[in-house]
């Protein structure tokens, strides 16, 4: 009985204004303005408090986002909470968490400063912006579950429309139906900033190009009264406000649509224009958003008397209330924290040969309940494979139980450039060109060239993927090396030589954080010179070739390659060296075992402890010079593949057959991307592994400053060790390679 009375009450609340036949139809029009659009939330809150009925919502760009959410039942407070909860740096980018990258992408990440794709078939090409909008689109989908399919916007709790511009015809496109998240995304697709939305034969961009304040759209929907929020982004700038290229571009857009904008302003019954100075459309910092939101609310409260006067014009008294809250009870949107049931999963845009792999890599199961958190992670992983430009989703079918993941193919063929400067090598340049033939046989051909004062190299690499991320690889690398070898801080000799390396291997990288590799190598060393600074010649070397069998495994969960905040890296490798596949110099072959471990232990949000343990052991009494243990520098494999880092030693030093090092770093983030790092390390080396503790000791430390720039770390380090008699200095700018 109680339910019947409540239902009757709700029906009366909805039907009473229509039965009375006196009240005029009210539309709220929300203009575009980027970050400034949060002011809409404050105005809507005050209008609700004043009891103003809202029968239509129309918006452009940010106004389309706020208006769309409001129209399906979100309250101003809920939209405010959503705005405050976002990581806007992540949202307004196409960043993928490193933990969601597959292993090969982790290896390539943060190495090149420029990457240019090429080679995608014409029908698959996407008109890019600086931001593809992957993260934004999926947020809109999260917030509008139940409105992904083709729906009639007039059937929302409040009828809704938003504006985009078709770049093919140049005309406005008014969304009255379709997918709500797609409509919101199209309406805010600022040209050259966000990738346009392709719909049928249209290429849709931000509606603000033609109609940033769409009063005419609301009137066409039957509005009698217009309440508008204009953020002054369509105002013409005066002489003293035209300084930058951005100012000029904004002025051109404003001039283009100014006549329509002026007419729409004239047709507004109550126009709110909150003061947004000095903020801009790009002011997405939390403090700025909070200020602009409250300015919108303050503007509306200051004009309370005008709101009451408008209510009387509508046909209501000051005390009449219009319960929007009651209307929301009829149907609530699904909030992002909910779990939902998925009956079927479909991949649109995927190569049919990859479907099994896609299901496996997503880890989403059909006929099961999944959370939005799990879904977001799966889509992030798919983008992290680097095979797709973006991945979006929608829930369709009966009760929205069919999950459709739309994949936009991405060219894996690219040209990449890396540059770095340091006090050792002065300058190094890395160039890579990768051609991917994914649609025919999943093969990849790559050329990588490196130029530097100590090492210059060229490498050709060909891979055939039997299944995604499981491949057979054939490569050849030629390098010219000019290295100084030190002993206890003094230069002992210089060697110049060429190195030829041919490798056939199988790699399995079909996991987010784990890679295994095994194969066969042939290496040939040809020494051009071997110049000692003294009379003692320590090593008798000659041109020599080696066949080796190798295997390696690497687990890596670090959240960042440089300055990680959490995670672990564990790597083990083994190589067996021969000169005829069986023996070396007519005797038993020798081998090398390596182990590297590092983890991050956060002490606070800014202070971290980074312990590490690593070493390398040569087994056999017939060891060849090219594979002797080496130490020095800040990274593994700085000049020699077997080189181990050691704080306080900048140059390359040769050590005994068994080396173990323990390192401890204390890293403090002092402001923004600035870091101070204190490093201490201790090592032991001996020719006999079983008597390693009786070997010679190494100790050293360093103090360094680093800035994490977009071009790579800028760092300066001072160090000392028991192998040097003077202070060591090292400076670097750029990603390591």
- Active-site positions read 61, 206
Q: Is residue 618 within 8 Å of residue 589, measured between CB atoms?
A: no
Q: Which SS3 state, helix, strand or coil, does residue 469 take? A: coil
Strand partners for 420: 428
Burial 561-580 (b: 16+ CB within 10 A, else e): bebbeebebbbebbbbbbbe
Is the N-terminal amide bond of 278 cis, ω within 30° of 0? yes
Give the position of tokens 């801009």. Answer: 280
Q: Which SS3 state, helix, strand or coil, does residue 672 take? A: coil
From 271, 27, 336, 326, select the one nearest 154 (Cα to Cα): 27
How far apart CA 666 and CA 662 sit, in angstroms, is: 14
Cα dist from 110 to 6, 107, 384, whole Å: 60, 8, 14
DSSP 8-state symbol, 236? P
Strand partners for 557: none
Q: Is residue 152 within 8 Å of residue 176, measured between CB atoms?
A: yes
Angle at 460 between CA 454 and CA 465, to 5 degrees: 135
From 199, 91, 197, 76, select the one nearest 142 (Cα to Cα): 91
User: Which helix (H) or strand (E) is 664 found in, with range?
Assistant: strand 658-671
Strands 402-409, 344-348: pairing kind: parallel
Mention every residue, 6+ apart, whose C-beta is less than 8 A from residue 380: 96, 97, 100
User: Which helix (H) or strand (E) is 382 found in, with range?
Assistant: helix 372-384
> DSSP letters along 351-381, please?
-GGGHHHHHHHHT--SSEEEEHHHHHHHHHH
Give the position of tokens 């504006």. Answer: 163
From 430, 478, 484, select the one nearest 452 (Cα to Cα): 430
Burial 365-396 (b: 16+ CB within 10 A, else e): eeeeebebeebbbbbbbbbbbbbbbbbbbbbb
How far apart CA 29 and CA 499 sit, in angstroms, is: 70
Give the position of tokens 């010679």. Answer: 696
Mention every residue, 6+ apart, whose C-beta is less than 8 A from residue 658: 615, 616, 617, 618, 629, 685, 686, 687, 688, 689, 692, 695
How far apart CA 544 and CA 525 sit, in angstroms, is: 5
Q: Which SS3 state, helix, strand or coil, does residue 299 take? A: helix
The encoded tokens of residue 733 equal 């700018």
Q: Is residue 660 within 8 Å of residue 615, measured between CB atoms?
A: yes
């Amino acid at each position: 009985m109680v339910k019947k009375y409540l239902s009757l009450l709700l029906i009366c609340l909805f039907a009473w204004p229509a039965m009375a036949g006196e009240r005029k139809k009210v539309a709220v029009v929300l203009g575009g303005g980027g970050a400034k659009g949060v002011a809409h939330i404050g105005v809507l809150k005050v209008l609700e408090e004043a009891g103003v009925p809202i029968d239509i919502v129309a918006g452009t760009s940010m106004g389309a986002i706020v208006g769309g959410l409001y129209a399906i039942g979100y309250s101003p407070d809920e939209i405010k909470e959503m705005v405050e909860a976002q990581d806007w740096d992540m949202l307004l980018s196409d960043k993928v968490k490193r933990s969601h990258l597959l292993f090969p992408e982790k290896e390539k990440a943060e190495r090149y400063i420029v990457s240019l794709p090429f080679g995608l078939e014409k029908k698959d090409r996407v008109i890019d912006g600086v931001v593809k909008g992957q993260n934004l689109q999926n947020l809109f989908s999260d917030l509008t579950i139940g409105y992904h399919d083709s729906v009639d916007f007039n059937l929302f709790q409040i009828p809704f429309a938003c504006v985009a511009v078709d770049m093919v015809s140049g005309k406005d496109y008014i969304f009255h139906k379709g997918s709500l998240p797609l409509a919101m995304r199209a309406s805010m697709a600022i040209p050259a900033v966000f990738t346009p939305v392709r719909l049928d034969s249209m290429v849709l961009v931000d509606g603000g190009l033609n109609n940033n304040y769409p009063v005419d759209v609301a009137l066409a929907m039957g509005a009698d009264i217009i309440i508008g929020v204009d953020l002054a982004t369509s105002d013409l700038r005066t002489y003293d406000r035209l300084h930058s290229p951005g100012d000029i571009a904004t002025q051109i857009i404003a001039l283009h649509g100014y006549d329509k904008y002026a007419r729409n302003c004239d047709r507004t019954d109550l126009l709110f224009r909150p003061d947004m100075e000095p903020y801009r459309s790009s002011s997405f910092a939390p403090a700025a958003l909070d200020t602009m939101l409250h300015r919108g609310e303050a503007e509306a409260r200051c004009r309370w008397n005008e709101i009451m006067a408008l209510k009387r014009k509508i046909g209501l008294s000051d005390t009449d209330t219009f319960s929007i809250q009651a209307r929301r009870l009829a149907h609530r949107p699904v909030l992002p924290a909910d779990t939902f049931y998925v009956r079927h999963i479909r991949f649109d845009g995927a190569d049919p040969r990859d479907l099994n792999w896609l299901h496996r890599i997503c880890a989403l199961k059909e006929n099961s309940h999944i959370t939005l958190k799990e879904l977001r992670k799966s889509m992030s992983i798919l983008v992290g494979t680097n095979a797709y430009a973006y991945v979006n989703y929608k829930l369709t079918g009966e009760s929205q139980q069919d999950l459709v993941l739309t994949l936009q193919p991405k060219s894996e063929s690219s040209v990449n450039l890396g540059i770095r400067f340091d006090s050792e090598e002065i300058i190094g340049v890395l160039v890579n060109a990768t051609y991917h033939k994914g649609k025919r046989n999943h093969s990849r051909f790559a050329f990588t060239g490196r130029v530097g004062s100590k090492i210059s190299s060229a490498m050709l690499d060909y891979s055939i993927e039997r299944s995604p991320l499981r491949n057979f690889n054939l490569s050849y690398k030629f390098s010219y090396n000019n290295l100084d070898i030190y002993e206890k801080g003094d230069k002992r000799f210089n060697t110049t030589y060429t190195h030829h390396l041919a490798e056939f291997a199988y790699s399995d990288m079909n996991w987010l954080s784990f890679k295994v590799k095994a194969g066969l190598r042939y290496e040939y060393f040809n020494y051009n010179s071997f110049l000692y600074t003294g009379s003692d010649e320590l090593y008798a070397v000659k041109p020599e070739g080696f066949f080796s069998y190798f295997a390696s495994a690497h687990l890596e969960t670090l959240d960042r390659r440089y300055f990680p905040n959490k995670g672990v890296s564990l790597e083990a490798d083994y190589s067996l060296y021969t000169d005829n596949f069986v023996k070396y110099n007519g005797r038993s072959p020798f081998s090398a075992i390596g182990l590297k471990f590092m983890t991050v232990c956060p002490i606070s949000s800014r202070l971290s402890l980074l312990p590490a343990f690593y070493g390398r052991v040569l087994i056999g009494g017939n060891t060849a010079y090219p594979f002797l243990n080496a130490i020095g520098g800040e990274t593994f494999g700085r000049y020699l593949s077997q080189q181990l880092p050691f704080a306080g030693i900048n140059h390359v030093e040769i050590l005994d057959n068994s080396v173990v090092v323990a390192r401890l770093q204390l890293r403090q983030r002092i402001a923004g991307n600035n870091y101070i790092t204190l490093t201490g390390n201790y090592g032991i080396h001996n020719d006999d592994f079983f008597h390693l503790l009786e070997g010679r000791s190494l100790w050293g430390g360093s103090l360094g400053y680093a800035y994490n720039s977009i071009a790579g770390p800028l760092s300066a380090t001072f160090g000392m060790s028991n192998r040097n008699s003077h202070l060591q200095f090292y400076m670097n700018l750029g990603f390591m390679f």
